[in-house]
A = this chain, B = another copy of it.
Amino acid sequence: MSDDEGQISLQELQLAARNHGMPLEVLRHPITPVGLHYLLIHYDIPNVDPAEWRLHIGGKVSTPLQLSLDELRRRPQRSETVTMECAGNGRVLMHPRPQSQPWLHEAVGTATWTGTALAPLLDETGITDDAVEVVFTGLDRGIDGGEDQFYERSLTLEEARRLEIVLAYEMNGSPLLPQHGAPLRLVVPGWYGMTNVKWLSHITVVDQPFEGYQQQHSYRFRTTPDDVGTPMSRILPRALMAPPGIPDFYTRQRFVAAGACRLEGRAWSGWAAIAGVQVSVDGGSTWSEADIGPGELGRWAWQSWSYDWNPTEPGEYVVCCRARDSAGNDQANFPPWNVGGYANPAPHRLHVTVRDDLPEPKRG
């Protein structure tokens, strides 16, 4: 952890340079365009030959399976439109700052994932009665916490049997890209990004809770370093806004002409539908309810929201937004800090300068 607020190390920058955020103006798109969905790649993007690749399903099953990509493609197809967010989104704005991938706000994206459902495949293997969890292993290998490992995460058997879990080989109607886990990725709607194992190669049914590093050490909500903590699972509510007006290149300060200015954005929760979004145009002193869109992308994707702002006075404003869901989770009420830097609930804040007008600059 670091107390150097606002001073990022070169090691953190190395991660920011590799792991793509979604530029926030892209919130205007219901489905995030190819190449703009966030990426968190723990180790390297592995070099996978899809012709040689197999999915191995084994462990506590009566019929282990090995499946090629063609065999998976011949199975019944299922698509889910899912908003995915990194559990560490907002980490760099925590004080003191947990040191890992230094996300500001942009570790999010929405895609339609197409593949085949996991649950029927598990059924076909004949899971034995002593099974308790399912471990998903990727082909990406590296060292984390001093331990050489393939990236892997588990789900309880009950969670793994949810009908909407997809083994995805397509994203937005095109073959999965290398950086998103080609040839196959686990997609668990509603859960933080770390659950959605990329470059999936092995599914192992086990009779003990999985003790792997990414399950027992990383991705836990801990209030002190000695706290065992609770595992991160579903995505807590968050709202983000598309920055209004035009930016300054370096500071990203926004400039808006006085008068009507519609603020727009998206909000999501992995626990339940979005129940409301609040907007503040005075830095969080007072809040107003935004209008919520129709949720046309379905249960697992973000909802649009809008708020008609009308700043008639030129000057400096701080515009904020925050969300709550219908299960009672409210971004306004979460603990503000944890050891791993997960799920920072701080509202999205933008500094906006309102000017009398913003005449179009000349060209040529």
Question: Hey, which bits of chain A sit against chain B, CB under 8 A?
Answer: 4, 6-18, 20-21, 23, 25-26, 28, 33-37, 41-45, 47, 59, 92, 99-100, 102-104, 106, 135, 137, 141-144, 147-150, 152, 177-179, 202, 204, 206, 210, 243, 246-253, 255, 358, 360-361, 363-364
Contact = CB atoms under 8 A, between A and B. Distances in A.
A247 B99 CA distance: 17
Contacts of A255: 143, 148
Contacts of A249: 42-43, 142-144
A122 B218 CA distance: 58
18 contacts: A8-B10, A14-B252, A15-B250, A17-B104, A17-B106, A25-B44, A26-B45, A28-B47, A34-B34, A35-B37, A36-B179, A44-B247, A137-B363, A143-B246, A147-B361, A149-B361, A204-B363, A210-B364
Contacts of A243: 44
A150 B361 CA distance: 7
Given A25-B47, A33-B179, A143-B253, 20 more contacts: A11-B251, A12-B13, A13-B16, A14-B252, A15-B252, A16-B17, A17-B21, A17-B103, A20-B20, A23-B44, A26-B45, A42-B249, A44-B247, A99-B250, A100-B250, A135-B363, A143-B248, A143-B255, A149-B361, A150-B363
Contacts of A25: 44-45, 47
A308 to B, nearest CB: 19
Contact of A177 (B18, B21, B34, B150): B34
Contact of A23 (B13, B41, B250): B41
Contact of A35 (B35, B44, B204, B364): B35
A363 B16 CA distance: 28
B178 A13 contact: no
Given A144-B250, A248-B143, A364 B204 contact: yes
B143 A10 contact: no
A206 B364 CA distance: 8
Given A247-B143, A249-B144, A59 B21 contact: no
Contacts of A150: 361, 363
Nearest to A136: B364
Contact of A141 (B99, B142, B252, B361): B361
A59 B364 CA distance: 9
Contacts of A253: 143
Nearest to A102: B13
